[in-house]
Structure 1
Amino acid sequence: MSTLEQSAFRGNDRLTLGMVMGVLTFWLFAQSVLNIVPAIQQSLAIPLPSLNLAISLTTLFSGCFIVVAGGIADKLGRVRMTYAGFALSIVGCLCIIFAQSMPLFALGRVLQGLSGACIMPATLSLIKTSYEGKDRQRALSFWSVGSWGGSGLCSLAGGAVATWLGWRWIFIFSIVAALIGMLLIRGTPESKAEPGERQPFDFSGLIAFVMALVTLNLVITKGGTFGWLSPVTLGLAAICLFSAALFFRIEIIKKQHGFIDFSLFRNKAYSGAVLSNFLLNAVAGTLMIASVYVQRHRDFTAFQAGMLTIGYLIAVLAMIRVGEKLLQKAGARKPMLWGTRLGAVGVMMMTFTFLPDSSYVVAVLAGYVLLGLGLGCYATPSTDTAIANAPADKIGVASGIYKMASSLGGAFGVAISASVYAALLPQGGSVAATAGLLVNVAFCLLSMAAVVLMVPRK
């Protein structure tokens, strides 16, 4: 497509739906495993610490490479990168469908993470370049429906499919969704950043960054298995610290040529949106802990555990458009604060594991509704704050960093919550679940603090 065709193109509902399907292939299908841990563990005979590691690989690798993919999308084309994400999703799903043991299952999870790394920043950049004004905010709302709503639908849909068809069917449906998304975005003019001076890619910084995050994740998820003071754990911790120090040294030396452009963080509003987004996405651990607890210690099926989240799904989908209207009337700060507060109260209600079954079900249902209202209220104002405060020539990288925060927040939130749960499991399922959920309450409160300190009132 010519530059004229690209600049004249205006996004339509077909493109919006195609991008939503792309987001769903990650948040809905890749993350649905949070509700089917017992079924996968029984089917593949993977120890719980190893399964927790495999589950976190998707969001971990998405977070590691999402900024790189955003930069590549700016240079090679955002539509082309979205297609690449769909293709990786299909291959990753096939690996998981045919997996009989840990290696192929883990490979599929890694590929799904790379798929998300391609799709997330590329589609956000397409929204920036293909829509304007209220149309952009509307497209962002529907994009958020796929993202935040997908995270809500994953437990419900994943539990139902796993209970009635078998957990592998989740990933068959994911392949179908990816194919539909590819058809919907077909014919969209390619979108690229204006060509500039070609810079060498920061491979050394990327390698140090990945090493730091992977070893940190291993320490969190496997430290209890290895022994917290064992040579293996201490060695991994040392590699993590060395890699992190090396990464910051490389990025300071390279400055503008690093794969993470730290100059973006000079904008306080952008920094606040990214940090609060990281912390609020860490609350993804709630979905896993609450689901595993009721299945293992209250004898719920995966479908019944998923049904507990139906209020979350409805609330987050309904509230996202409300969050858009609040953004237009009150600015971003207020709805972001309301969202984090509601999330904290909602997760706190799920910590009441001392209640009998019927009362606890009511508490969890109400907690999920409040969590959904909070996330829905937060989603569009936070995303709009991030991309509206990014320079036009760096929107792909800026979007990538924002979504990196989402993915890494989810990865480490799940890993930390699961590790706390596993560590305290000998003390009883209720104690372990309460502690794991309290970790997520803390994430909500820290996210609220980031908004208070960094996002401007106007």
Structure 2
Amino acid sequence: MVFLDGTVVNVALPTIGRDLGAGIDGLQWTISGYLLTLASLILLGGSLGDRFGRRRVFVIGVVWFATASLICGLAPNLPTLIGARVLQGVGGALLTPGSLAIIQATFVSEDRGKAIGAWSGLGGIATAIGPLLGGYLVQAVSWRLIFLINLPPAALVAWVALRHVPESRDPEASGEIDVPGALLAVVGLGGTTFALIEAPTEGFASPRILLATALGLVALVGFAIVEGRARQPMLPLSLFASRPFTGTNLVTFTVYGALGGMLFLLVLQLQQVVGYSPVQAGLTTLPITVLLLVMSPPAGQLAQRIGPRIPLTVGPLLAAAGMALMARIGRGSSYLVDVLPAVLVFGIGLGLTVAPLTATVMASVEERHAGVASAVNNAVARAASLVAVALLPVLAGLSGDAYLDPNVFTAGYRVGVLLAAGLAAAGGVIGWVTLRDPKVGRYSSG
């Protein structure tokens, strides 16, 4: 549900914008409000699961997420929708790290690679299928259904978790909660995100923008200081002493930042410029879904056998090549000539990347830190998407109602998607430089 909701909204953005009277900054907030709390609090969610029980926190998160989805689906105006999306991110922060940590604690080591590969593949598929599902629901019924559809699976997931999932926790964790760290993370990411999204409208020299920037940066510095001194930090900085853990999270930041920024721009380009319907725009990403389904489990096993260096170098570089090809998409583009080749190359690259990325992060720490490690990696991925969705339109010169003018938006789209390609390529370089050990299994020793 969380991965799906990260992208299912994208294809509905033009319709939401018309229905609720939103400019491009309103569309950015519809995505970023969710990512803001998800990225800020997912670290806390991992810590809470390790200390108070992963299944318990997971179920609470599922119920919270479903309740916020209901509010989103009934939202009468844009501020209500954005506020509900913020609440939805809180639920996602509680349930996401617990899901992977439960797998890490439940499966024996020989089966973890396949299990994590399946988890990563399903998460990647949910991310990729989101535009397709969203397009169908928007065109056939209403954009509100993309939120309301979360309610039945949430009820099923909560029931299955309570009935069949064993409880697990970190036996060495205390009951203390890192409230200062959580607050500083929210203020830090919130302030910088507000500045990035609103600066094109208010002006970069606006007192509100300068205040938000300063507040955000000071909070982020304070977060690093607090986490370094806290007895029970939600982000143990000692984890970054592991070279593969640090390197893999850097790859995560670049790849998921590129993915988030690209999806935000692509669905707008396909609908507003190329003239696709919501369903057609969603169908465009279907090959990515198929490739992730087929490639993720074997890619996870491959990384266990030969190490993650090659997959996490080749995968991001192929994804970058696919994004660069997407820059050709414009008015009059042919699906078979201009769109499909780009999507296929990107999908192959993403399929090589997702499972090895997750498996390497989890193998680089002790099992008792599984919840926190999972949370860190998820926080990095969501923060990267948050920053990319806020920053790429600014760098591309897109603001206000630019998405309603095909010529203006196309020029900005091409700049933005090429910047995303460069970001993904940087991930491939980082993977080659930082991940030198031949086996994932050795990473637990640093």
The code of the aligned residue for 1:385 comes to T
TM-score (norm 2): 0.92
The one-character-per-residue Cα deviations of 1:86-125 (angstroms, maximum 9, x if unpaired) are 1011111111111011232112211221122112210111
CA contact (8 A) 2:43 2:376 kept: yes
**What is the match of residue 272 of structure 1?**
247
- Equivalences for 1:18-97 in 2 at 5 Å? 25-97=1-73
1:421 Cα deviation from its structure 2 partner: 4.5
When residues 394 and 457 of structure 1 are mapped into structure 2, their CA distance, relative to the original with a 3 A threshold, is: closer
SS at match of 1:257: coil
| Residues in 2 aligned to 1:325 and 1:30: alpha-carbon distance in whole angstroms | 26
CA contact (8 A) 2:188 2:219 kept: yes
1:411 Cα deviation from its structure 2 partner: 1.5
When residues 396 and 375 of structure 1 are mapped into structure 2, their CA distance, relative to the original with a 3 A threshold, is: same
Q: Residue 99 of structure 1: which of 53, 72, 75 is its match?
A: 75
CA contact (8 A) 1:323 1:380 kept: yes
When residues 160 and 420 of structure 1 are mapped into structure 2, their CA distance, relative to the original with a 3 A threshold, is: farther
| Residues in 2 aligned to 1:84 and 1:157: alpha-carbon distance in whole angstroms | 26
1:205 Cα deviation from its structure 2 partner: 2.5
| Residues in 2 aligned to 1:234 and 1:67: alpha-carbon distance in whole angstroms | 28
CA contact (8 A) 1:46 1:101 kept: no
1:394 Cα deviation from its structure 2 partner: 1.7
Q: Does 1:404 align with 2:379?
A: yes
Larger mean CA deviation between 419-428 and 443-452 belongs to: 419-428
CA contact (8 A) 2:47 2:371 kept: yes
CA contact (8 A) 2:333 2:339 kept: no
CA contact (8 A) 2:312 2:432 kept: no
TM-score (norm 1): 0.90
**What is the match of residue 21 of structure 1?**
none
| Residues in 2 aligned to 1:332 and 1:84: alpha-carbon distance in whole angstroms | 34
**What is the match of residue 306 of structure 1?**
282
| Residues in 1 aligned to 2:389 and 2:398: alpha-carbon distance in whole angstroms | 14
| Residues in 1 aligned to 2:394 and 2:235: alpha-carbon distance in whole angstroms | 29
Q: What stretches of structure 1 of length at least 5 have no aligned partner? A: 1-24
Cα root mean square deviation, aligned: 1.8
Q: Residue 167 of structure 2: which of 190, 193, 201 is its match?
A: 190
CA contact (8 A) 1:421 1:433 kept: yes
**What is the match of residue 237 of structure 1?**
213
Q: Does 1:159 align with 2:135?
A: yes
1:355 Cα deviation from its structure 2 partner: 7.2
1:422 Cα deviation from its structure 2 partner: 5.2
Identity %: 24
1:388 Cα deviation from its structure 2 partner: 0.9
| Residues in 1 aligned to 2:397 and 2:339: alpha-carbon distance in whole angstroms | 21
The code of the aligned residue for 1:274 comes to N
| Residues in 1 aligned to 2:43 and 2:394: alpha-carbon distance in whole angstroms | 27
When residues 77 and 269 of structure 1 are mapped into structure 2, their CA distance, relative to the original with a 3 A threshold, is: same
Q: Does 1:262 align with 2:234?
A: no
The code of the aligned residue for 1:339 comes to G
The one-character-per-residue Cα deviations of 1:189-247 (angstroms, maximum 9, x if unpaired) are 21111145x36433223222221110111111111011112222112111122222222
| Residues in 2 aligned to 1:210 and 1:447: alpha-carbon distance in whole angstroms | 26
